[in-house]
């Protein structure tokens, strides 16, 4: 095989391998939930954005462009490998649907095929334009979704509700978009000029960064001292989290503004905005806290600074967890209540969930962020840290579900014949804060150990992950045992 094709395959193969279980298991076990389609979309966008994004991340774009090979050949080889990866992902999802008995006839072929097609055509263009892999992936998702939302609003205002005509128009619109961005991406690559400078995976444009950072610099200049400097450095690293929060608010406000002409579309926009943002923000905030410095190659240098490693870690976690809680939990909850008052029936009086539920939400947010911090402690890039965090979270959920099923089958008689695991859920839920707190401390401890040593060896990493999954398994057994004694004591 051509050496260049092997190089491109090595870039995409780990992503495909990580996303493969997420496409296979939901597609076979719960095809109706649509999780396999979501995993397909994530896999396609990440692979398409990584095709050129890795060149910017590793600062090898100048070497790529300086080869004595026509750029059309380089483009063709990259897109060939990308197309093969996207086609394989689509084939996996379709195969899972066939195995599960859902039947291919129950799935719309064309909309499903448009997912990899939009990623194949759009992600390279946006990555080359923004020169950032993650920003290119976000644009590759956001631009088509924004186009479809605007088209749906226009049709709602004009009173066009024929499903067949709307579906055909949407397909044509997306095909035109794909053709335009593919051609523009090829043209962009043909005239691309590389600049030898460190590239950030997540960052603001220079002009926007100067405009936003200048006022904060004036305010923070009054705070001096080593620890204050560490805090200011961490807040600067987290600037992309604040940008994501701004985009979230803008999309939410736009959704609220169209509530009067189209309440259904507005609720979909605001609801989707809240769900996606609440899932992404803690992972991004946790991953960039360490992976950004590792990507720049300054993680080891930071350990030589006069402030101790523990003091640096405390500043990093104080900023990271606070940013995640305020921007990733308080802000979406506020948006949810604002949308609920607008779209739903205002409730009488003041309603608050139980204390243990509020505590569970806070601890869950901190745990998600800590998982991303942990994976960033052994990842070389922010994207790798985010993907690894997703794998760890989903694998932990799988271990938890498997343990629950086994306990339900082989546990005490009240559980074997309970019929549903939900029969004891009300008794287990109050125990969640304790379990979440233990897992949070465990992830923070492992991340701190890796931070001190600038990344663990493979055997230590395997041992850490084994302990994490074992703790999750033990929690399920202990919870069911506690419920058993509570019921029979």
Q: Using one digit for the tens of pLDDT, what is the confidence trace for 277-292?
A: 888 889 989 998 888 7
Of the candidate ranges 293-297, 304-308, 467-471, the one whose mean pLDDT is the lowest: 293-297
pLDDT given for residue 418 in this prediction: 44
pLDDT in tens, 69-127: 889 999 999 999 999 999 998 888 888 777 766 655 444 567 788 889 999 999 999 99
pTM for this entry: 0.77
Domain ranges of the chain: 1-193, 202-351, 353-489
pLDDT given for residue 442 in this prediction: 92
Question: Is the model's pLDDT at 1 over the cut of 80?
Answer: no
CA distance 189 to 124: 9
Mean pLDDT is highest, among 51-65, 101-115, 147-161, for 51-65
Distances (CA, A) of 457 to 288, 378, 450: 21, 9, 9
pLDDT given for residue 202 in this prediction: 54
Say if CB 390 and CB 283 are below 8 A apart.
yes
Mean pLDDT is highest, among 50-54, 60-64, 196-200, 321-325, for 321-325
CA distance 425 to 127: 45
Share of the chain above pLDDT 90, in %: 17
Distances (CA, A) of 412 to 233, 475, 488: 54, 16, 11
pLDDT in tens, 5-24: 888 888 888 888 878 877 77
CA distance 386 to 392: 10
User: How sure is the predictor about 53, in pLDDT bands with cuts at 50, 70 and 90?
Assistant: confident
Using CB atoms within 10 A of its CB, is residue 2 exposed (0-12), middle (13-18) or buried (19+)? exposed
String of b and e for 291-315 (b: at least 16 CB within 10 Å)? bbbbbeeebeebeeeeeeeeebbbb
Mean pLDDT is highest, among 177-186, 376-385, 453-462, for 177-186
CA distance 262 to 98: 37
User: How sure is the predictor about 309, in pLDDT bands with cuts at 50, 70 and 90?
Assistant: confident
CA distance 295 to 380: 6
Residue 350 backbone zone (phi > 0: left; psi -120 to 50: alpha; other: beta): beta
Residue closest to 188 by CA, chosen among 84, 61, 11: 61
């Amino acid at each position: 095989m051509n050496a260049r094709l092997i190089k491109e395959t090595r870039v995409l193969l780990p992503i495909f391998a990580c996303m493969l279980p997420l496409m296979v298991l939901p597609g076979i076990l719960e095809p109706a939930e649509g999780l396999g389609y979501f995993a397909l979309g994530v896999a396609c966008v990440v692979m398409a954005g990584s095709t050129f994004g890795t060149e910017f991340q590793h600062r090898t774009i100048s070497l790529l462009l300086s080869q004595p090979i026509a750029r059309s050949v380089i483009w063709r080889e990259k897109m060939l490998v990308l197309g093969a990866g996207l086609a394989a992902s689509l084939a996996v999802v379709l195969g899972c649907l066939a195995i599960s008995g859902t039947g291919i006839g129950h799935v719309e072929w064309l909309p499903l095929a448009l997912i990899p097609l939009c990623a194949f055509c759009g992600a390279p263009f946006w990555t080359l334009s923004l020169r950032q892999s993650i920003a290119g992936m976000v644009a590759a998702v956001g631009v088509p979704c924004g186009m479809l939302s605007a088209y749906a609003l226009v049709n709602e205002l004009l009173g066009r509700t024929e499903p067949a005509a709307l579906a055909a128009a949407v397909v044509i619109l997306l095909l035109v978009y794909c053709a335009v961005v593919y051609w523009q991406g090829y043209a962009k690559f043909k005239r691309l000029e590389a600049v030898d400078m460190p590239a950030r995976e997540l960052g603001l444009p220079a002009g926007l960064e100067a405009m936003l950072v200048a006022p904060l610099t004036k305010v923070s200049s009054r705070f001096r001292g080593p620890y204050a400097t560490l805090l200011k450095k961490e807040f600067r690293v987290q600037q992309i989290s604040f940008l994501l929060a701004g985009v979230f608010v803008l999309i939410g406000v736009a959704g609220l503004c169209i509530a009067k002409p189209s309440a259904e579309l507005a609720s979909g926009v605001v609801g989707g905005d809240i769900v996606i943002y609440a899932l992404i923000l803690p992972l991004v905030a946790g991953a960039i806290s360490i992976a950004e410095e590792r990507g720049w190659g300054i993680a080891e240098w930071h350990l030589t600074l006069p402030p101790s490693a523990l003091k640096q870690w405390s500043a990093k976690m104080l900023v990271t967890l606070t940013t995640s809680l305020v921007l990733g939990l308080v802000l979406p909850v506020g948006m949810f209540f604002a949308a609920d008052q607008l779209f739903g029936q205002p409730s009488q009086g003041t309603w608050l969930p139980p204390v243990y539920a509020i505590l569970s939400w806070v601890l869950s947010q901190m745990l998600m962020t800590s998982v991303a911090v942990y994976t960033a402690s052994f990842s070389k890039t922010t994207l790798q840290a985010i993907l690894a965090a997703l794998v760890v979270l989903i694998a932990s959920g799988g271990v938890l579900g498997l343990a629950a099923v086994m306990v339900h089958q082989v546990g005490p008689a009240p559980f074997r014949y309970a019929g549903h695991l939900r029969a004891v859920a009300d008794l287990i839920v109050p125990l969640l804060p304790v379990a979440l707190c233990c897992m949070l401390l465990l992830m923070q401890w492992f991340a701190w150990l890796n931070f001190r040593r600038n990344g663990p060896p493979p055997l230590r990493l395997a041992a850490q992950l084994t302990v994490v999954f074992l703790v999750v398994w033990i929690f399920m057994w202990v919870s069911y045992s506690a419920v058993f004694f509570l019921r029979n004591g």
